[in-house]
Amino acid sequence: MQTTLDLYTDYLLSSFGQTTATGLSRLTDGAVGHDAVTDLLNRLQGNNRTLWQYVKPLIRQIQESDGVLLTDDSIAHKPHSDENGLITTHYDHSSGQ
């Protein structure tokens, strides 16, 4: 599972376009099936505490007294934005659309 998780994470971080489980499967010539990624994501359980426990050792290695770490996973609702190569529609869980 860790190998698939690491590979999927690297895939997400290195991609500039749309990322999908099928895309990773295609990229690896089927070595990682899209079902394996979907199953992995369904098995992962976590919250902020779980994430912190996972990344804390890495953060402690690179922290500096005058540095900060900012994360933002919010998506601003912009119903009038035009779709283009960088902007596309996303499912909004708060509105169900």
Average pLDDT value for residue range 7-34: 88
Average pLDDT, the chain: 80
Determine the structural domain holding residue 24 and report its residue range.
2-62
For residue 93, the model assigns a pLDDT of 67
- Determine, yes or no, domain membership for 83: no
Can you state the angle between helices 2-14 and 34-43, rounded to 10 degrees?
100
For residue 29, the model assigns a pLDDT of 92
Can you list the alpha helix ranges (DSSP code H) found in the chain?
2-14, 21-27, 34-43, 48-62
- Determine, yes or no, domain membership for 12: yes
- Determine, yes or no, domain membership for 18: yes
- Determine, yes or no, domain membership for 76: no
Cα 45 off chain centre by: 14
Nearest to 18 by CA among 93, 85, 91: 85
Could you tell me if 35 and 27 are in contact, meaning their C-beta atoms sit under 8 angstroms apart? Answer: no
Is residue 37 scored above 60 in pLDDT?
A: yes
Number of domains in the chain: 1
- Determine, yes or no, domain membership for 40: yes
pLDDT digits (tens, 9 = 90+) for 46-88: 777 887 888 888 888 888 888 887 777 776 767 777 777 777 7
Tokens of 87: 């902007």
For residue 9, the model assigns a pLDDT of 86
- Determine, yes or no, domain membership for 74: no
More confident residue, 10 or 88: 10
